[in-house]
Structure formats: C-alpha cells, structure tokens
Amino acid sequence: MSLTLRIAAVLLTLLGAITVPVASAAPPAVLPMVVSNDSGRSEAVHLYLTGVNTQTGRLGYVTAAGVFTPWPSGSIPPSPAPDVAIPGPGPGAATTLRVPLHFSGRMYMSFGAKLRFFLTPTGLVEPAPWAPGDPNRDILFDWSEFTYNGSGLWLNSSQVDMFSVPHAVEVTASNGQVRRTGTLVADGRARIFGALQGEWARLVHRRSDGFPLRAIAPRKGIELGLFPASYFAPYVDSVWSEGRTLVVAPFQHNPAVRFTGRVSGGVLHFTDGSGARVASFGRPPSKDVFGCDGVLHAPNDQVVGPIARSLCADLNRSTLGHHPTSPVWTAADYYTRAITNHYSKAMHANMVDGRAYGFAFDDVGGHESLVHAPDPRSARIALTRF
C-alpha cells in the first residue's frame, strides 16, 4: 500500500466523526498531472507512473496516454521489467501525464539515466538505492506518492525513505482553488545536507565526484549499519521508566477521548475512560521509532492505531513525556532536544511552509507535505531549482 493510500485510509477512519463537505464535481476519469522542470539542470528527465489499480488489486504502470497496464509475470531471481519510462520535460518546460481513476502509486523522476525495475512472480521490485547492490544507487532520482479514487486526489512529496530531488506538489480543485506544498527555501537542498552532521552525515550518499545524490532515512541507516541502532535508547528508557504515567488524546477534533498509560514491568499499558486495558507497548528499539512500526505498529482502528501514531510522532519530535498530553500539536515544540529525529528536523526547517514527510506519521497534527482535493481538476509536480 502506498503512503498516500495508507493516509487516505487513516484519515477516513480518524475523521469519521467530522462532516465532510460534498464535492462540487466528481473526479474525472483521467486526471491531468503536469510535471514542470524548473530544476536548472540540463540532464534528460525520465518519468514513471507505477502502482496498483485500487479496484482490482493488480500491480502495473500507466502509459503516457493514461492507460493502466498490468505488469507481466516475473521470475526468481527477479527479471528486468519492461522499459515504461515516459520522456520528461526539458529545462523550463513541462510534460502532462494522465492518471486514471482508481490508481494509487508513485510518480518517479530520474535525471540523466533511466531507472531499472524488476519483476518477481508476485510483484514489482522498486528502486532501493540505500542497498549497496541496487543498480539505481548512483542515479539521481526521487518520487512523489498519490492516490486517486472516487474521493479525490491525495498527493504528497515524501522523505520517509530518502530525500534527493526537490519538488513541490500541487492540486487544482474544480472551483479553481490551488493547494501547493513541498517547496524548499532558497538553497534548501544544500542546507538539508549541511544540517546532517556527525553520525547523521553517514546517511548522505555521494557520487564519486562528491555530489550528494540523496540522504536516506535513519531507519534505513540502522538497517545498513550506518547509523547507531541504540540512538533513541536513552530517551525511550526515560519514558518507559517504571511507574511512569502518560496521557494520550489522539484526536485533535475530539480532545475528550483520552487514554491513560502507565509503565509496569517495562511495558506501557493504556486504559480507556472505563479503566479497561486497551493497548500495550514494550520499549521500542530505535528502528521502530524511526520507522513507526514493529512495537509501534499502528493498525487502522480507533484505539490502538491512534495511540501508536501519537507515541511515534512524539518520540520522533522529542516531545513525549515533556508535555501533559500526547500528541503535541504545535510545531514550535518539536525537535528542541538533543536526542531527536534530526533528519526530519532538517526537512521541516527547509520547507517554505514547514511541511514535510520526515517519517511515516508526520501527518499527526497536519504537518505533512500533502495536498488533497475531493474534486480535482488537475495536479502538478514541480521540479524546483537545485
């Protein structure tokens, strides 16, 4: 499931008590998605639309004409996927892609070289440049994520796995209203890489000529042995200290819903208003904090998931245990302590509007680089200067 499809599912669950305005127009069968190139770079740009038909569950790609096409069957070891690159825009130009309704996936953009995808009998092997053997490791590329269905378009820039190519995302509604996010401040790309110092600098992968291709997320760094696996341990231990009590009020629109947690035997147990135990969390290792999974796995429900999301967000933002309730909604309180997610901090600090997807649950409190319209007329991904 793509990040945006997961976002859409979570929002529909968590916002069920909110009255959502009826869209003024149904989403078109094929949505124009303009990719503009103001990057200032001269390399050829290659575009890809890969993902899933949300009605059938079939994995596939979308052609330049906007036609969803299932992938052919792959093999073990994975076999090369067909070349489905769509020629992208030259400097100062734009290319219009066409996204069919009921499609969720990624729009990849690469500079100078085409990406290599592979197929197994059950699915697609996407580029994973944090892996030393990945053939795309030395290619400059990135992606945006989106879901387009009967409820509209969700489109986001994502730094959850890595940061590489600056790009803004935009949607225009049927009434002409434009929503845009993901624009970096001037020289923001260099500022982000410059902010990753000390052990965090090991997350930056550079080309042989020294050009920084990308910064990978700390969870990826831990998996590769590039980043300390115990980074969050002192902070987690302080929160999971015996007898510690925490209060989680996970619904910003309904703060009366509260869960009380108390640490007993190294486990943080939560009870609801009636005193019934509803959720329990052991001490999460650092990889689970950065990844918002494992011990902090958040099911798509109304209790355990919202509590887990709140804990993960506040741990990454170094606010858990320092405020009366969790999550903390105010961005000015985030990333103020030494042990914090400095990768995510750098992303937010260098966005014009402060919004980014530095970790999976960065949408807690609405601080994510996401645009949505229930009645989209068009979308845009703007490759910005770097």
Active site residue 145: yes
Residue-level pLDDT at 26: 84
Identify the residue with better confidence: 253 or 6.
253
Query: Does 14 score more than 70 pLDDT?
Result: no
> Averaged over 370-374, what is the pLDDT?
98
In whole numbers, what is the pLDDT of the chain averaged over residues? 94
What percent of the chain has a predicted confidence (pLDDT) above 70?
94
Question: Using CA atoms, how far apart are residues 155 and 16, in angstroms rounded to an integer?
Answer: 21
Other C-beta atoms closer than 10 Å to the C-beta of 170 total 20
pLDDT tops 80 at residue 259: yes
Rounded to the nearest 10 degrees, how much is the dihedral formed by the CA atoms of 325, 328, 330, 334?
130
Residue 208 has pLDDT above 80, yes or no: yes
Distance CA 115, CA 337 (A): 39
* pLDDT above 90: residue 216: yes
| Rounded Cα–Cα distance for residues 252 and 265 (Å) | 30
CA distances from 138 to 82, 113, 226, 295 (A): 20, 10, 18, 33
User: Can you give the pLDDT at residue 24?
Assistant: 55
Q: Which residues of 93-115 are buried (b: 16+ CB within 10 A; e: fewer)?
A: ebbebbbbbbbbbbbbbbbeeeb
> In the prediction, which pLDDT does 11 show?
41
Return the CATH superfamily for domain 233-333: Beta-1,3-glucanase, C-terminal domain (3.30.920.50)
Q: Which of 38, 142, 145, 314 is catalytic?
A: 145
Confidence band (pLDDT; 50, 70, 90) for 4?
low
The ranges assigned to domains in the chain are 3-182+369-383, 233-333
Q: What are the residues facing 165 on neighbouring strands?
A: none
Share of the chain above pLDDT 90, in %: 93
CB 82 within 8 A of CB 70: no
* Cβ count within 10 A of residue 125: 17
Say which DSSP state 231 is in: T
Residue 25: the pLDDT is 77
- Annotation marks residue 161 as catalytic: yes
Q: Does CATH place domain 3-182+369-383 in 2.60.110.10?
A: yes
Report the C-alpha gap between 25 and 336 in whole angstroms: 44
Q: Identify how many contiguous H helices and E strands the chain contains and give both numbers.
A: 7, 23
pLDDT computed for residue 13 by the predictor: 39
Contact 181, 370 (CB under 8 A): yes
Active-site residue among 38, 142, 161, 314?
Answer: 161
